[in-house]
Chain A
Amino acid sequence: MHYKSPMREPLILGNKDLHDITVDIARPIETKANRWWWALFTISFAAMLWLFGCIFYLIGTGVGVWGLNNSVGWAWDITNFVWWVGIGHAGTLISAVLLLFRQKWRLSINRSSEAMTIFAVVQAGLFPLIHMGRIWMAYWIFPLPNQFGSLWVNFNSPLLWDVFAISTYFSVSLVFWYMGLIPDFAMIRDRAINPIAKKVYTFLSFGWSGRAKHWQRHEVISLVLAGLATPLVLSVHSIVSMDFATSVVAGWHTTIFPPYFVAGAIFGGFAMCQTLLLIARKVLDLQDYITIKHMEYMNIIILVTGSIVGCAYLTELFIAWYSGVELEQYAFLDRATGSYWWAYAIMMTCNVISPQLMWFKKLRRNILFTFILALFVHIGMWFERFVIIITLHRGPLPSSWHDYSPTYIEIGTFIGTCGFFLVLFLLYARTFPVIAQAELKTIVKSSSTKYNKNLHYLDKEELVKLNKINKKK
């Protein structure tokens, strides 16, 4: 055995051995859903149907059913797109970046956060399609040889880079997630009693047998995929940010956007992780695996990235003043005092001030506080994108100043994507192993209450108390 610092809190509570992990993780799949699940599923499903209705109406009638105007050509559509893509980023960060840094606490949350990534990118991917005026010609964005003398695409546009970035991001994340799922599906397969379930999980597990050589290769590809996904995750949101940063619009044309968007994405994504996992750990009874310590680690990341985002806001303001460019100075003055000052105020409060409360240990280990703060971050990050995009309403030419307000179709589309996201996540939570059990089993000996009886980081009373809290909440 290797040396383990007694300072570290255990990541698996409740005296679990290998078999207990298997049983706990297979339970949601092998049992029937309760009333709460059905209630939430029904609501989300209704919202999803509403989304499809909105989309059909939009495509059938035209983009004019949205509240866009000649000045503000992008609003809720791109706001939601960037918001959803941003949410996806935390999943890849947890599974890839934390893997490279050998963070063991990622093991019980990476599966769900990757699922969150996949489902969030599905929602994000809708918007570039539906915000087109002529969606049926969407395939023209691909450089396919054709009958127009082979008329190609233009590789100078960040919107085309987006296509490459999002499709690569989605497919690589999906494959990375699926490769991790194969051994877990094999576990479910070998436990399945229902013959249909057995066939389904046999199909999904690709005939995984857990051979030594396969594990060796599996570990290598996981590491390489993590190494590839890390620059990918940084590049994707950078490319998304270039939709704005490469423009000539004052308030958009800033070189700080790529890193600042990425930081914001991680900030918003971790908040979504908190929201989903705080509910999932309770509903699926996984409090022994997704512990308060996991919540605290995520809260610390929210604090760090929130501070980076805050720093970026101040940098923007400073540079606007320092530049001496009236257009840019006005853009920021308008944000703070113009007709959308309230959006700017919400953004500043939710993104800069509220995460600073995470400096207090009591607060960042408090489940209810974490949950509320995560909601604040969702709102704040949505308004960050909205504030950036709505800069369009005060352009360089005062004669084309227009205010913007969304129609119910836009609002319905946004609420609908939340429903669609939840439908996917709820289905996932009942059919997929929500914790990467094969990987989690590697830390049972090094980081669980069963095998680490001599942890000094807390005295025994505190450990008992912690166990109780984890059980209760």
Chain B
Amino acid sequence: MNSNKVIYGLYDDDDKLLHATKKLVSRGFTVNEVYSPFPVHGLDTAMGLRYSRMAITSFIYGVIGAFLITLLMWYIMIEDWPMVIGGKPNFSYGQNLPAFIPVTFEATVFCAAHLMVITFLFRCGLYPGRGVFAGSKKYNPDPRTTDDKFLMEICDVDTKKIQKIEIIMKETGAVEIQIGDYKVKKRKKIISIKQYLKNNLSGIFKFLPKKKK
């Protein structure tokens, strides 16, 4: 989070933006962020973003939901009060299973959908009222990007590199270029999962007594 030079290139066309991103990435620059009014298809792969794991979380939440509701219905209907209601068999969960399917299904969908959305909001740092008192700078460097403009943000310290980036941006059709020293969170470089685990998990095991040689 050190005070970087940040270069902003404003584009008015998604194809130009995509082309510029590919060009800059192929020259070895990291496109830190792109603000766009709609999802530009292929931009995430061009920027080198990792695939989103939202779908995986949803699956896990769904499984949890199905398990919990099964546990609840088994406890209520079979274990706690095994009452005979309308002659339905209640000796085991399996005997009365067909009647439990609809609720199991709904609970699975409920958990899968809602918990995934909460995860999405959490991971993107979105919450009701964000930026109400902080002003627009808090969330977006240029308000035109929700209308029809596309803003590319590149962080770099080196002035020479900044000039190179500026030239490429101009070549690829940027309508406005601004250089400033805003405090911008730099996007982490993509690392392999193996490396990620190595970096992050090694800390967890620190509490274990070290083996003496």
Contacts and interface: CB of A to CB of B under 8 A. Distances in A.
Question: Interface residues of A: mostly helix, strand, loop or mixed?
Answer: helix
Contacts of A161: 102-103, 106
B148 A22 contact: yes
Interface in B41-73: 41, 43-44, 47, 49, 51-52, 54-55, 58, 72-73
Contact of B140 (A154, A182, A210, A224): A210
Given A164-B107, A442-B39, A152 B117 contact: no
Interface string A17-29: 1110010000000
A223 B49 CA distance: 19
Most buried by A among B38, B77, B100, B132: B38
A143 B148 contact: no
B126 to A, nearest CB: 4
Interface residues of A, number: 66
B76 A199 contact: no
B205 interface: no
A188 B196 CA distance: 39
A202 interface: yes
Given A210-B140, A441-B37, A156 B106 contact: no
Interface string B28-40: 0000011111111
Contact of B123 (A217, A225, A239): A217
Interface stretch (A165-173, A263-271, A278-286): A165-173
A256 B165 CA distance: 65
Interface string B72-94: 11001100110101101000000
Nearest to A173: B113
Interface string A175-218: 11001001100110111000000010011101111111111111
B110 A207 contact: no
A173 B138 CA distance: 30
Contacts of A218: 39, 120
B85 A442 contact: no
Most buried by A among B37, B55, B58, B114: B37
Interface in B108-151: 109-110, 112-114, 116-117, 120-121, 123-132, 136, 138-140, 143-148
B169 to A, nearest CB: 17
Contact of B131 (A151, A191, A202): A202
B172 interface: no
Contacts, number: 197
B130 A207 contact: yes
A1 interface: yes
A22 B147 contact: yes
Question: Interface residues of B: mostly helix, strand, loop or mixed?
Answer: helix
A144 B55 CA distance: 31
Nearest to A238: B102
B4 interface: no
B34 A212 contact: yes
A220 B47 CA distance: 17
B105 interface: yes
B102 A187 contact: no
A155 B120 contact: no
Q: Which size bracket describes the interface of B in this complex?
A: 35 or more
Given A168-B106, A172-B109, A228-B58, A212 B132 contact: no
Contacts of B37: 18, 22, 183, 187, 210, 438, 441
B120 A187 contact: no
A313 B142 CA distance: 58
Nearest to B88: A156
A20 B166 CA distance: 30
A383 to B, nearest CB: 27
A235 interface: yes
B15 interface: yes
Given A212-B49, A221-B120, A224-B55, A207 B88 contact: no
B114 A204 contact: no
A439 interface: yes
Contacts of B140: 186, 190, 209-210
Given A175-B114, A183-B146, 10 more contacts: A143-B72, A156-B85, A204-B128, A206-B121, A212-B47, A213-B44, A214-B124, A218-B120, A228-B113, A439-B38
Interface of A: 1, 17-19, 22, 143, 150-156, 158, 160-161, 164-165, 168, 171-172, 175-176, 179, 182-183, 186-187, 189-191, 199, 202-204, 206-221, 223-225, 228-229, 231-232, 235, 239, 242, 438-439, 441-442, 445
8 contacts: A161-B103, A190-B140, A202-B132, A207-B127, A207-B138, A211-B35, A225-B117, A439-B38
